[in-house]
Amino acid sequence: MAISEDGTRLLVLTYTDAVEYSMDFKQQQKIRLNFLQQQESVAYLPGSRSFVYTTERLLPVLPQWIMRVDCAE
């Protein structure tokens, strides 16, 4: 879960997507994501509507991806 820099939006990461809510929960937007097994962390990037999400490392030989999503204003 992440809160936007201006405090107006809440971003929740699910097993398949992200959902962005207005802080009064009157508006929500589902954001389709590239699937990462065991995705578990999300954070807004400073000064933008973009965010990153990642997964825990499953095995030392597998890559640990950090994915960036750029949202329209």
Tell which wins on pLDDT, 73 or 58.
Answer: 58
Residue 61 has pLDDT above 80, yes or no: no
Question: Structure pTM?
Answer: 0.83
Distance of CA 50 to the CA centre of its chain: 9
Residues 4-60 have pLDDT tens digits of 999 999 999 998 899 999 999 999 999 999 988 888 899 999 988 899 999 887 777
Quote the CA–CA distance of 69 and 51 in Å, as a whole number: 5
Is the Cβ–Cβ distance between 26 and 14 less than 8 Å? no
Q: What's the pLDDT at 73? A: 60
